[in-house]
Amino acid sequence: MKKSVLSVLAIAALMVGMISCNGAKKSNEAEKTEEAAVIAGKAPKDLLTEEVKQETVKFLADMPESEIPYRLSSGEVQVKVGDLTYMLPVAKAAELSTATQKARALGMYMADYNVLKAIGQPTAEVEGAIVKLATDLNVSFVLDILKEEAPKDATKEQLQAFMNAQEDKIIDKMAAENKIDVQIEILGASSAEYACLLANPTLVIKGDATSAGLSDNMLKRVTMLEEVVADLASYYPDLQQLGTTISPLKEKVGTIQDARAANADIMGIRDALLK
The answer to whether the CB of 124 falls within 8 A of the CB of 205 is: no
Lowest mean pLDDT among 97-106, 127-136, 206-215: 206-215
* Mean predicted confidence (pLDDT) in 224-230: 91
Is a pLDDT exceeding 90 seen at residue 31? no
> For residue 231, how far is the Cα from the chain centroid?
15
Is a pLDDT exceeding 80 seen at residue 116? yes
How many residues does the structure list for the chain?
A: 275
Lowest mean pLDDT among 20-24, 249-253, 254-258, 266-270: 20-24
C-alpha dist (Å) from residue 261 to 52, 155, 158, 212: 40, 35, 34, 18
* Mean predicted confidence (pLDDT) in 74-80: 77
Helix (H, G, I), strand (E, B) or coil at 205: strand
pLDDT digits (tens, 9 = 90+) for 138-179: 999 999 999 998 888 888 788 888 888 888 999 999 999 989
pLDDT at 274: 97
The answer to whether the CB of 178 falls within 8 A of the CB of 25 is: no
The structure's pTM equals 0.81
Lowest mean pLDDT among 32-41, 95-104, 230-239: 32-41
The answer to whether the CB of 109 falls within 8 A of the CB of 126 is: yes
pLDDT at 4: 52
> 56 or 208: which carries more pLDDT confidence?
56
pLDDT at 72: 81
The answer to whether the CB of 132 falls within 8 A of the CB of 93 is: yes
Is a pLDDT exceeding 70 seen at residue 104? yes
* Mean predicted confidence (pLDDT) in 191-217: 77
**What is the chain's alpha carbon radius of gyration, rounded to the nearest angstrom?**
20
Is a pLDDT exceeding 50 seen at residue 12? no
List the beta bridge partners of residue 78.
Answer: 204
Q: Is 41 left (phi over 0), alpha (psi -120 to 50) or beta?
A: left
Residue type, 124: A
Closest CA to 196 of 177, 212, 223, 214: 214
* Mean predicted confidence (pLDDT) in 117-121: 88
CA 61 – CA 18 distance, rounded (Å):
29
C-alpha dist (Å) from residue 35 to 9, 10, 44, 145, 271: 17, 14, 10, 40, 36
CA 110 – CA 91 distance, rounded (Å):
15
